[in-house]
Amino acid sequence: LRHRDITDLRWTESLRFNPKCYHRTETDAGTRTEAWPAMIAAVTDNRGTITGVQRTWLDPSGRGKAPLETPRRAIGDLLGHGVRFGITHDVMAVGEGIETILSLRSALPNMPMAAALSANHLSAFLFPDSLRRIYVARDNDPAGDKAFAVLAERACAAGMEAISLVPTLRDFNDDLRRLGLAELRAALRVQLAPEDVSPFWNPPAIGSRG
């Protein structure tokens, strides 16, 4: 995560590190099994019950994902659920990938968030009963457009507000790495509902000077 400039790891109890997580690859010669470091993410439902797990195998050098054909795999009941950070009350943000959500939390550390793990799963995210406004941290691409449109329609039908959070570049991790935390926070400030600025944007993020 630090390779992606994500250093604020408060309230990340849903993540674990396994120094030797087995990865199996099917080849013409049979099954090859190797042990790699991995980030293990717990997928939970709105009651906090673990429904699945995502494994991301890592390069031992700390330079991103392991050099595998499929360095990321998920198992279990994922649809509608997510990897959660913080406790949701009436406002939360949801996005696709873990890195996207943790980049957003670097700028808005007090906002509860969840990573749905894909654009299709994002559009099917199940709303907590207490929710009245949901921010959708979508990627800046057609899949992100579609996911937000579907989720916003579902939110409206459920009587809640859906607000799109749009990155300047391709996704919020690109914004964090290439534009910096201060510029990311400034871009998010104008996208928040006025009543959410004080509780979620005003508290300074770790490492922020603005």
The 10s digit of each residue's pLDDT in 94-153 is: 999 999 999 999 999 999 999 999 999 999 999 999 999 999 998 888 988 999 999 999
Domain containing 98 — which CATH number? 3.40.1360.10
Residue 67: domain span: 2-76
**Cα distance between residue 94 and residue 97, in whole Å:** 9
Question: Sorting pLDDT into bands at 50, 70 and 90, what band is 7?
Answer: low
Q: Evaluate if residue 204 carries a pLDDT over 80.
A: no
pLDDT of residue 63: 82
Nearest to 161 by CA among 150, 153, 169: 153
**185, 162: one domain:** yes
191 located within any domain? yes
Other CB atoms within a 10 A radius of the CB of residue 152 amount to 18
**89, 60: one domain:** no
**188, 123: one domain:** yes
**61, 123: one domain:** no
Q: Which two tokens stand for residue 30?
A: 């049979």
**88, 180: one domain:** yes
The pTM for the full model equals 0.89
pLDDT of residue 207: 45
Nearest to 131 by CA among 94, 102, 103, 98: 94
Helical (H) or strand (E) element with 17: strand 15-27
The answer to whether 133 touches 163, Cβ cutoff 8 Å, is yes
How much is the mean pLDDT over the chain?
90
**103, 36: one domain:** no
210 located within any domain? no
In this structure, what are the phi and psi dihedrals at residue 92, rounded to the nearest 5 degrees? -155, 170
Encode pLDDT of 37-57 as tens digits: 999 999 999 999 999 999 999
Q: Evaluate if residue 3 carries a pLDDT over 70.
A: no
pLDDT of residue 85: 95
Helix axes 98-107, 181-189, angle to 10 degrees: 80
206 located within any domain? no
**54, 91: one domain:** no
172 located within any domain? yes
The answer to whether 86 touches 15, Cβ cutoff 8 Å, is no
**168, 119: one domain:** yes
Q: Evaluate if residue 205 carries a pLDDT over 80.
A: no
Start-to-end Cα distance in the chain = 23
Question: Sorting pLDDT into bands at 50, 70 and 90, what band is 15?
Answer: very high
**127, 194: one domain:** yes
**Which among 45, 76, 107 is the end of a domain?**
76
114 located within any domain? yes
Place of tokens 């808005």: 108
Q: Please tell me the total count of domains within the chain.
A: 2
